[in-house]
Amino acid sequence: MSSPIGRTLGAYRVVEALGRGGMATVFRAVDEARGETVALKTVDATSERLVQSIRREIRALARVRHPGIVRIVADGVDEGVPWYAMELIEGETLGRLCERGGVTEALGATREAPWWTRTLAGDAGDEVGGEAGGEPLPLPRLLTIARALCASLAYLHGEGLVHRDLKPDNILLRAGDAPVLVDFGLASTLRARSSRENLDVRWELAGTAAYMAPEIIRGEAVDARADLYALGCILYEMVTGTKPFAAFTVQAVLRGHLDQAPRPPSELAPEMPARLEALILRLLAKRPRDRLGHADDVARELEALGAAPPPGPLPAGRDYLYRPGLVGRAACLERLERAIGSARRGEGRLVLVGGESGIGKTRLVNELGVRAAQRGALVLEGECTRGGPPLEAWVDPLERIADRCHSRGPAEAQRVFGARAAALTPYVPALDALPIVAPRPPTELGPDASRARVFEAVAGSLRALVAEQPLLLVLDDLQWADRLTLDLLRHLARELLPHAGVAIVGTYRSDEAGPRLRRLVDVAGVEVVGVERLEEPAVRALIGDMLADPSPGPLAGYLATQSEGNPFFVAEYLRAALEAGLLRRDAGGRWGLDRPPGPDGTLQLPLPGSLRELVRRRLADLSPAGAALVEAAAVLGEELTLDRAGSLAELEEGEAFRAADELTRRQVLSEGAGRLRFAHHKLLEGARDALSPGRRSALHRRAAELLREEPGVRPATLARHWLAAGETAQALDALDAAAPAALARAAYRQAADAWGVALERARDDDPRRTRWEQGLAEALLGLGETSRGQTHLLHALALRGYPASGPGPLALGAGLLGGLGRQLARRLGASARPADRATLLQATRGHQRLVETHWFENDAPRMLDAGLRALNLAETVGPSPELVRAYATASLAIGSLPIHPLAERYAQLAMETAESVGDPAAEAYARFLLCVYRIGTGDWARVDADLERALAIWEALGDPRFAGDGQTVQAMSRLYRGEHARAAALFEEVEALGRRFENVQHRAWGLLGSAEAALRSGRPDAAEKALDTAAALLGESPGQLLERFRLEGLRAQLHLARGALGAAEEAADRAEARGDELAVPTAHYLLEGYAGVVEARLAAWRAGGAREARRAARRALRRLRLFAAIFRIGAPRAWTSYAEAWELEGKRARARAARRRARARAEALGMRWEAERAGGSGAAGRAGDARAPGPVGRTP
């Protein structure tokens, strides 16, 4: 804001500057229409949120009407800077009076402060020493001024406000020594009265050092007792002539407040009354609970010492409750501090704090945050709301990091965020304004790639941030966290925190934790701290703190019983008793109840017996404007701002401010991190429950109408309001925009919910249903719900007019013949029917996704059918990324028939089309699929070349989603070639990637591959460990037929290696039960599944098994032979297995020929381990002991 001098703000022309300090400047200004001169103060604000916060507090001060408190007459905002005008009081300050009048000689006071302390001004608070300049002031006069000051403070505190910068220069004296409080510190709302903590752990030192209470210096919550500490400093100075802590530097003054006992004032003023000294020293107690609790308590003491009472009646202050200290949580806090202490050494942790609603979780982590900030950590906080947007809890922390980068310049923004900012901007739009020069990553990577990129961006930015300073990140209410937030936390817990100075502490309601949050709790290295209910001694301490009375009497026992040890309930009961007039302070400052205990010593108070009724009572007794604002706030939820709530409640700006002030005073709403919110979720729930259906609908309708006019409002927000209003058409429009936006951010659950609701509410003839069905399918597949996703894909394709083949073998056969016929016609040059390009591409994508679902079902015929349909549709469109993928998919499907020349022709078409289209992502995907096909043929050179190119493209695109797939193919190719050590290392990397990105498929591939490599290397113990881990993993995952089959085959081999034939046969039985569902093998890595069954059956036969054992061996050999017919890499093992069978039959010549064939195949394919296995005697040395069976069937 430019200088306002000479300009008009509101009704006031700014004349001159009177002074500046901290964030504010004070000017003399004149209302020329009325001839009124005022002091006009402007306050620098860095954000719109802070502007609104400051304006609310200004309005709170403006309602205060007391002769001892400066009157605010107007306020406004100019060029984004808030200002307010207050009466300009002509008179001297208390500081000037004391300086002019000198120290009270009657007390024998001397000035011992050294000369250099006079130079300490500004932050430390003007002069901390000095010579008296006039007639000494009589003690009664000083005490009377202090007594009058107490009256002003008592009223101010009763209104829920704290001055925060009380000092002699902020106390003006009218005629007759009437003191007036001026120049309030902002952020002064007394949030101590709240029954629920607001998450606000930022530590910013503000005020004047010479009068600053220890809790302000420590960054703790501030209440009225901080003003009473400052009053103690003022009294000390008034009677001794020096400040209690005088030093050369501000830091030394602050250390004095924190750690040093003040010099007894009687040493400086020997004739001081002992009672006055005791009063001053009690006000200067380090702990707030050890001070007098209320300003009127101080006033009574001063009157007893000779201060004159006020000359006339003054407005009385209200009784109020204090914010309690942290009681009963020492053990929890110690565990938290211990858990995050390692972050300072570069070893972070994720700690989850669980407990029921109202138990004090947020209060606990607030205390932790304050302590971490005091020790030099950067503390950031975020919170989740019910139904909030993806990564909601990360928005505030990342915005604060961005603010920090802005303040430090472009180099810092580049260092911390750099190119990573682009991945986070969809979730945190403020990052788009960072001064960063970096290429934007491609946007067409798909949801999985976007998700992985976001995880890497957050991890990378945090890693850069903590290179200079350790970080504590506090996230509240994780029970409402979206899936993306929880998955990100899991990723960070595994990949970042163990190696970086980042500690993350999250709170959650233990009774509302969903399955994903419970899985996060089970992640290795995550620590859980449970917060339990308070015992009665802790409840007594809690009540004593809130009343500033260490002996709360029978009330403590009553509330301990009623609240059952829940701190929120304790606060609600106390507040209800206070507001009902059942609890009050008497003229002597003692708390008491309006009724005595019963004959048995117990209390019976006419208070509600349930929390719900307590909440209802609190909401019922509000002004009309307050009630209207509560309704609006309840409807807005996460979109709550005062401007929006005021508009929704149809209140004028002044009415809205007054209503907000009423609601914060009564702790219905509270403020944290510059935002308004309900003081507790129970109040929000109560406010929503109180709305009638008609009123609720009307408010949601108006909310939607208001919000749709604002830029940047999320479509999901509008959809929520339109749905609640019963406006289906508008809701569907909003859902139509919200669901794709959620899918693009990998928020699969939200996308699925949005599309699901749209399909449920839309008419059958709504033309968008097709798009919604396919979108829902994509979201469900992203969630891993393959079966449901497939169902909606089939619906979408049918609605587009390009259905899959119907159920049953006849329909499937007809579909396959039709697809093959169309391909043949196209190869011969026949033209396709014209169709809408966009529709064809959507249908192509749908059938390509069906191929994937059928692959996981091992349904080769339907996989081929869907692949052919995708191919025919894509060729109709012409060259496109979809056509590249379709050719590659066709190559993979046809290779499973196996028709290798045709599969290679489609592979060639895929590469040619990829080159003409110029889409790197499509090329990488195609090359990867061709690797999956060619690894089964043993074409290692092309597998290596294509895989290297695909991985390079994915890395350049910043798309890590296929890294696990690519490394699995790489590892399997090394395993097949006998490079077991290299394969084992790659499989470990695959499993680590699976853990990193929460991909069960990759974890299973990594573990089973590791087991296979271990078995081939003669390490059965390592194989067993990997198989047990894989079994536990697959036991928690639905489906996974192929992996379960492979697992049991490997288990059979493990048991045979240890000589446990019975266990091997049982594993083979389980594998065959799953193998019965595998009509045609579709995956090359099933080799050891089939081979494991064969080996177990041959071993049983060799051990003298009955006819059934021989039949089982022959059946297993036929299945292995089928696998070898499809996948060439299976031929060596099949020939070796047949050799063993013929050896058992006594057909030695035939067996030797089979071994030669196995070795030749293995050598031709470059499979060294298979060649060595074929060349050995295997079981031949024991063949003579076997009976001669009949033929085993055709050879491979």
Shared domain for 350 and 294, answered yes or no, is no
Reported confidence tier of residue 867, pLDDT bands at 50, 70, 90: confident
pLDDT at 828 over 70: no
What band does 518 get if pLDDT is binned at 50, 70 and 90?
Answer: confident
Average pLDDT over residues 991-1008: 83
Residues 6+ away with beta carbon under 8 Å from 261: none
Q: What does the pLDDT look like over 55-87, one tens digit per residue? A: 767 777 788 889 999 888 888 888 777 888 988
Domain residues for the domain of 650 are 614-691
What is the mean pLDDT of the segment spanning 1021-1028?
Answer: 96
pLDDT number for residue 82: 84
Kindly state the tokens that stand for 844: 């192509």
Distance of CA 1014 to the CA centre of its chain: 40
Q: Is residue 1016 part of a domain?
A: no
For the chain, give the percent of residues with pLDDT over 70: 87
What per-residue confidence (pLDDT) applies to 132? Answer: 41
Rounded to two decimals, the pTM is: 0.69
**Using CA atoms in the order 667, 671, 675, 681, what is the torsion angle rounded to 10 degrees?**
-50
Question: Is 73 inside any structural domain?
Answer: yes
Closest CA to 156 of 296, 312, 303, 304: 296
For residue 242, tell me if it sits in a domain: yes
For the cut 60, the answer to whether the pLDDT of residue 830 exceeds it is: no
pLDDT at 106 over 80: no
Percentage of the chain beyond pLDDT 90 is 40
**Is 890 a member of any domain?**
no
CATH code for position 18: 3.30.200.20
> Do residues 477 and 428 both lie within one domain?
yes
Q: Which positions ≥6 away from 918 have C-beta within 8 Å?
A: none
Q: Which CATH number characterizes residue 228's domain?
A: 1.10.510.10
- Range with lowest mean pLDDT among 447-456, 532-541, 958-967: 958-967
* Whether 508 and 554 share a structural domain: no
What single string gives the DSSP state of each residue in 727-766?
Answer: -HHHHHHHHHHHHHHHHHTT-HHHHHHHHHHHHHHS-TT-
- Give a yes or no: residue 1195 inside a domain: no
Do residues 80 and 51 touch, judged by C-beta distance below 8 A?
yes
- Secondary structure (H, E, C), 599-614: CCCCCCCCCCCCHHHH
pLDDT tops 50 at residue 968? yes
Write down the residue that tokens 């919110």 correspond to.
677
User: What tokens does 1062 get?
Assistant: 């019975």
Max Cα-Cα span within the chain = 129
CATH number at residue 494: 3.40.50.300
**521 in the same domain as 550:** no
Q: Which pLDDT score, from 0 to 100, does residue 203 have?
A: 45
The pLDDT of 1083-1111, averaged and rounded, is 91
Domain final position from 671, 691, 711:
691
Radius of gyration of the chain (CA): 39
Domain tally for the chain?
5
How far is residue 619's CA from residue 666's CA, in Å, rounded to a whole number? 9
Q: Mark which of 530, 551, 583 sits at the end of a domain.
A: 530
pLDDT digits (tens, 9 = 90+) for 682-694: 888 888 888 999 9
157 and 294 co-located in one domain: yes
β-pairing verdict for 179-181 and 171-173: antiparallel
Distance (Å, whole) CA 309 – CA 410: 60
Domain closes at, from 622, 656, 691: 691
Angstrom CA distances, 105 to 109, 135, 200, 306, 578, stand at: 6, 9, 47, 17, 46
Peptide bond into 898 cis (omega under 30): yes
> What are the DSSP E strand ranges found in 691-738?
none
- DSSP string of 507-560, one letter each residue: EEEGGG--HHHHHHHTSTTEEEEE-PPPPHHHHHHHHHHHHT-S--THHHHHHH
Strands laid side by side in the 378-383 sheet? 378-383, 471-476, 502-509, 350-355, 526-530
Torsion, CA 1183, CA 1184, CA 1186, CA 1191, rounded to 10: 70
CA distances from 19 to 25, 41, 42, 171, 412 (A): 6, 9, 11, 15, 34
Strand order in the sheet with 72-78: 8-9, 12-21, 24-31, 36-43, 81-87, 72-78
Residue 671 CB neighbours (<10 A): 21
Residue 809 lies in a domain: no
User: Is-contact 398 431, C-beta < 8 A?
Assistant: yes
Look at residue 597 in the predicted model and tell me its pLDDT: 66
Q: Give me the pLDDT at residue 826, please.
A: 65
| Residue 624 burial (C-beta neighbours within 10 Å; 0-12, 13-18, 19+) | exposed
Is pLDDT at 953 greater than 90 in this prediction? no
- In a domain, residue 166? The reply is yes
pLDDT band for position 1192 (cuts 50, 70, 90): very low
Highest-confidence segment of 374-378, 437-441, 1120-1124: 1120-1124
pLDDT class of 601 with cuts at 50, 70, 90: low
β-pairing verdict for 378-383 and 471-476: parallel
pLDDT of residue 188: 44
Residues 6+ apart with CB under 8 A from 470: 343, 344, 376, 377, 378, 501, 502, 503
**Same-domain check for residues 518 and 369:** yes
Confidence of residue 1023 (pLDDT cuts 50, 70, 90): very high
pLDDT digit string (tens) for 357-371?
Answer: 888 898 899 889 988
* Helix, strand, or coil (residue 136): coil
| Domain match, 223 and 343 both | no
Q: What is the pLDDT of residues 1064-1077, one digit of tens each?
A: 999 999 999 988 77
- Provide the pLDDT for residue 653: 84
pLDDT-derived band at 716 (thresholds 50, 70, 90) equals confident
First-to-last CA distance in the chain? 86
Instruction: Identify which of 1036, 997, 1189 has the alpha carbon closest to the alpha carbon of residue 1105.
Output: 1189
| Other CB atoms within 10 A of residue 1067 CB | 25
CA–CA separation, 808 and 429 (whole Å): 51
Same-domain pairing of 350 and 324: no
> Which ranges of 936-1019 does DSSP label H, i.e. alpha helix?
940-957, 963-976, 980-996, 1000-1016
**Same structural domain, 489 and 552:** no
Shared domain for 146 and 242, answered yes or no, is yes
Mean pLDDT (whole number) for 216-242? 91
Taking a C-beta distance cutoff of 8 angstroms, is the pair 570, 544 a contact?
A: no
Question: Distances from the Cα of 921 to the Cαs of 408, 440, 949, in angstroms?
Answer: 38, 16, 11
Dihedral angle computed from the Cα positions of residues 610, 612, 618 and 621, in that order, rounded to the nearest 10 degrees:
-110
Q: Same domain for 343 and 194? A: no
> Quick one: pLDDT band at residue 1177, thresholds 50, 70, 90?
very low
Q: Taking each helix axis as running N to C, give the angle between helix 447-465 and helix 728-744, from 0 to 180 degrees, rounded to the nearest 10.
A: 60
The CA distance from 84 to 36, in Å, is: 14
User: Does the CA dihedral 796-799-803-804 come out positive or negative?
Assistant: positive
| 490 in a structural domain | yes
Collapsed DSSP state (helix, strand, coil) of residue 467: coil
> Residue written as tokens 């046969």?
1065
Residue 125's pLDDT band (cuts 50, 70, 90):
very low
Both 324 and 334 in a single domain? no
CB 677 within 8 A of CB 669: yes
